[in-house]
Structures are given as C-alpha cells and as structure tokens.
Structure 1
C-alpha cells in the first residue's frame, strides 16, 4: 500500500520527469528547482524502507537473488550499489534495471546512505503491525 502523500509525490515526480523533455537544455537549468536534499528523508527512515522486498513487484529471479544475498528490507536494498548487486550470484543487468525502475518510482535509488538503519524501535513497530494484520 502507498500512502496518499507517497502517491501524490510519485505522481508529481513522474509528471515533472515527463515534462522535462520539452525544455531545452539551458532552460532545464533555469526553470527546474534543484531536487530536495534526500538527507531529510534518509534521517527519518520512512516506513517504506522497512517494507520487505516481497512487497516489490519483482520478477521471481530478481527476488530470489536478493533473498540469497540476505536482503530482506527495501532499506537494505537501497544501501547496496549497482556493483554490489551485480556481484550477487545469478543477478544480471536485467534484474538491476528492473530494481532501479521500481525504486525510482518510489523516489528511492541504489547507493543511499542511511545512518542508523535499521532503527530497532521502528523494526518492532513494523513487526507489531504485521502481527496485528
């Protein structure tokens, strides 16, 4: 599930990306505000980072490769670099591109620096929510 705030944020990001192609290169620099620094999001560790990779709409191959690499949470995945993932057994470019596309749709990227992740209190909160459901 996606919160209303996440949905609006995703829609705005996608719309902006789609409209960028109509700007000339010099206009892009002048009219597009710099992206918000991701440190705010990284510091607060939004709940999306605590979701399991099973919740991503990944191919079976990509999902199995991540599980074999002992990656369980989206937050663990986004901290990996492309090179680290490509070194995973049976993990190739196609799986990498699939993951990058899905993460981009969520406003996330590979190679993110997340300090103090995972937060033990947040993990307990998430576990509690899953048991109640």
Structure 2
C-alpha cells in the first residue's frame, strides 16, 4: 500500500503547535491526515501539497497531486480555516507494507518543522470469518469457510485475499524442501469434478425434490 510518512506545515515547528485561524491543532490535523486512503502508481516517494485560504473546510480533495497519486476518500475532512487565514502543507507519501512508527520515519537530516508520522500501509481495515458445517455429495462432515474483508478502497477484497495467500505460501515454502520425500510427494493431484459430474453422482434423495417427483423417479428405478 501507500501512506503518508511526514508532514510539513507552514509556521509549525512541532506537533503540539496551533495554527492561527485554524480550528484544529496540529495533533488533530495529523490524526485526520493519517486517515487518507490513496493509491501510488510509482515506486519512489512523492510530495503532495495543500494550499488553502479561508474561509474553507479543507478536505482530502484539496490535496494537489500528480498522475502518480490518486486520492480515494476525497471527502475526508482535514481541518477548518477561518476567513483571512491560510493553510499550506506538504505531505510525503511512499509505498510500503504493514505499519511503521513515526520514529522509524524520522531521518537524521530532516529539517526542523518536518513532522514524521505513523504510516499505516495495509489497505485491509477489517476481516471477519465464519466456519460452518456443509454437505458435499453424500458426506455432511465438511467445513465451509465464509470470509468478509473490508478495505480502504485502494484494493478490492478479492485481490487482498489473493496477495495474503501468496505471501503466506512463500513464507511456508521454505519448509517444503526439508526432505526429498515431502518435496516429491504428490498432493491433491486428482482431477476436480465438474459441477455436472457431481450432480450426476447424486442420489435422488440428495436432490431435495417434491414428494411427487421423488415417487415418480423411485417407481421408474432411477
């Protein structure tokens, strides 16, 4: 994913400052900006800019971006600027993975006034799952897994699940080669049955037919 790594606001030296003519303090502004959902179509970091003169409610849609950056939640409120006041900020965004604390985003040569922030790169906001008993053919001892995935919009849930499975597979792949027997073992090599083949193998008791239809087929010896 992509996330903001540092923020620089004109007239601000530290995160506990206040800005003349701006309702929110810097701490609240940083919290609001951390809620940005965006896509970055480049491998290197980018600098975004906000330049607003009040009166105005500054939203994510006011962020000036180039073709490499897409803001997804443009209605996110960042701060409120009073009449005659100005709000000018520069935001650094970069690609990454997982969660990075503000201290890790701090560089030794970082100028005074540049505020490192926590970066939340993961686009997955919430996951829920449910395991239920299910029937397959004549057997009713199978498990059915239902997953619900919520994202910030920068990735669809299906892609998030596929990438997570790929990452997990790559992590576990190191154990496959521990022995030659395991490495060369054939697992799950049977051809999967098509839906039609499965239907043809079902008994009439499994088809959930009406009593009349069931009796007709039974008398016909089907």
Return the TM-score normalized by structure 1: 0.29
> Which protein is richer in helix relative to its size?
1
Q: Larger relative contact order (C-alpha < 8 A, sep ≥ 6)?
A: 1
Greater Rg over alpha carbons, structure: 2
> Which protein is richer in strand relative to its size?
2
